[in-house]
Amino acid sequence: MSETLTHKDLAALCGVSETTIKSYRRKFPTFIPVHTDGKPIRFKPEAGDICLCIRDCFTKGMSINETYKVLKGRFREISRKDLKKTGVRASGNEAGGESGLNGVSREYLDKFFETAGQMMHGMAQLATAQARADKRLEKVEKALGSFADAEARNEQMFTELLDHLRTTPPEGEAKVRARKIINVRGSGGTKSYTFEGQPGADAEDKNRQESVKPETEAWQPVEPEQAEQPEKEESAASAKGLPQPSETFMTTPIVIRNEQNEFLGLPGRVPLEGFVDAVMQEGKSTGLSLTSWERRDRSWVLTMQNASNDRHELFFGGTKTPRGNLVVLFWRLDVNGEETTPAFLQEFFRQIKDRIDG
């Protein structure tokens, strides 16, 4: 190492810029000894070790005060008198001394500038967070606006659809309806009845239309002399002379209505045929001797008569629940030709339900 060092020499030794070396000198003027005050300024050889120590402390993230303590423990600090002799002036950041600003210590100034820097940094972070929050809020407002527009469009489309369904008849209603012919054999001979249904409906749809409530105009009877040939299923039933509900009707869940006009069914959505089987089993205990099905208006009536000639007539009709489910409604019970009360019907239904559950 040469006798004296310049800023350039110290920068090359520490691997930093000359500006960094000058900042070391401003921060710690009492530790970096100046040999000559001419141009270029030259420093004593020990200034190289001091600058290396300062560089290492700053690399470790140490503050000015912490670095000052390290330097004070390893190197000799130049007194103010010596600084005046060499013509070097202590800056306002001189460690451990006074800045010349009315006797304010450098330690106080360091704390002040450090706190101010932290405040500025915090304000910058706050401004950034505020900007991000504004962007997120703007996105939320746009999303809510889009949702409101979509909801309005959906409501309008739903209203238009309801209006269309109210004003437009079902497709094919104005066309010629398909015919369904039923032969009924009685004491006066065989009579044929033709029922008109919607064209294109399959067997299941037709059976469901038969089980609609009386007020629903799913089928329209015509005169017997206009009848045509019956379908295979109905022909077989008429050949036996015993009218029977359709298979779809028998496999539809059965319900009753309570005092609040609510639909009450059986656990597991028991169909009509299961309910009828339970009624038959219950009737055998009273000497059931005769059962028969009969079509009255748009209801199917199951007549049961025991050995004592007591006759029960159970009325069943098709209907739909508020949710649109097709069910069979047990809506009336006659005993010996007299209609019972709704309470009696509900108690009868409950007894059959208990038998099914048991």
Distances (CA, A) of 12 to 16, 23, 48: 7, 15, 10
Examine the domain organization and report whether 257 and 347 are in the same domain: yes
| Phi/psi at 338 (5° precision) | -115, 135
- The reply to whether 2 falls in a domain is no
214 and 259 part of one domain: no
Pick the more confident residue, 352 or 38: 352
Interstrand relation of 254-257 and 263-265 (parallel, antiparallel or unpaired): antiparallel
Q: Distance (Å, rounded) from C-alpha 44 to C-alpha 140?
A: 66
Return the higher-pLDDT residue of 1 and 59: 59
Indicate if the pLDDT at residue 252 is higher than 90: yes
Tell which of 134, 168, 202 closes a domain: 168
Together in a domain, 263 and 192? no
Do residues 275 and 187 share a domain? no
Q: Which of 222, 242, 262 is the last residue of a domain?
A: 242
Co-location of 277 and 292 in the same domain: yes
Mark whether 263 and 307 lie in a shared domain.
Answer: yes
DSSP 152: H
Does residue 218 sit in the same domain as residue 307?
no
Examine residue 112 and state whether it is found in any structural domain, yes or no: yes
CATH of the domain at 91: 1.10.1660
Do residues 7 and 74 touch, judged by C-beta distance below 8 A? no
Domain check: are 189 and 269 in the same one? no
- 189 and 153, same domain (yes or no): no
Beta bridge partners of 306: 288
Total domains in the chain come to 4
Q: Is the pLDDT of residue 171 over 80?
A: no
CB burial class (10 A; 0-12, 13-18, 19+) of residue 342? middle
The predicted model gives 34-51 an average pLDDT of 84
Q: Are 97 and 119 members of one domain? A: no
Q: Are residues 352 and 329 in the same domain?
A: yes
In the predicted model, is pLDDT for residue 320 greater than 50?
yes
Which residues lie closer than 8 Å to 278 by C-beta, 6 or more apart? 352, 355, 356
For residue 1, is it within any domain?
A: no
> Would you say 318 and 299 are in contact if contact means Cβ atoms under 8 Å apart?
no
Residue 59 falls inside a structural domain: yes
Reference 7, options 39, 31, 29; nearest CA is 39
Last residue in a domain, options 69, 101, 133:
101
Q: Would residue 20 count as lying in a domain?
A: yes
* Alpha carbon distance 358, 281 (integer Å): 13
Residue 278 forms part of a structural domain: yes
Which residues lie across from 288 on neighbouring strands?
Answer: 306
Q: Using the 8-state DSSP alphabet, how is residue 224 labeled?
A: G
The reply to whether 310 and 273 lie within a common domain is yes
Which residues lie below 8 Å from residue 179, measured CB to CB, with a gap of 6+?
194, 195, 196, 197, 228
Question: CA triplet 175, 181, 183: central angle to 5 degrees?
Answer: 165
What pLDDT was estimated at residue 105? 65
What tens digit of pLDDT does each residue of 172-218 get? 444 444 455 555 555 556 655 554 444 444 444 444 444 434 333 33
User: What pLDDT score was predicted for residue 172?
Assistant: 47
Is residue 47 one of the residues assigned to a domain? yes
Q: pLDDT > 70: what percent of the chain?
A: 71
Q: Which domain holds residue 199?
A: 178-242
Q: Is residue 233 part of a domain?
A: yes
Nearest to 97 by CA among 75, 112, 78: 78
| CB-CB neighbours of 10 under 10 Å | 24
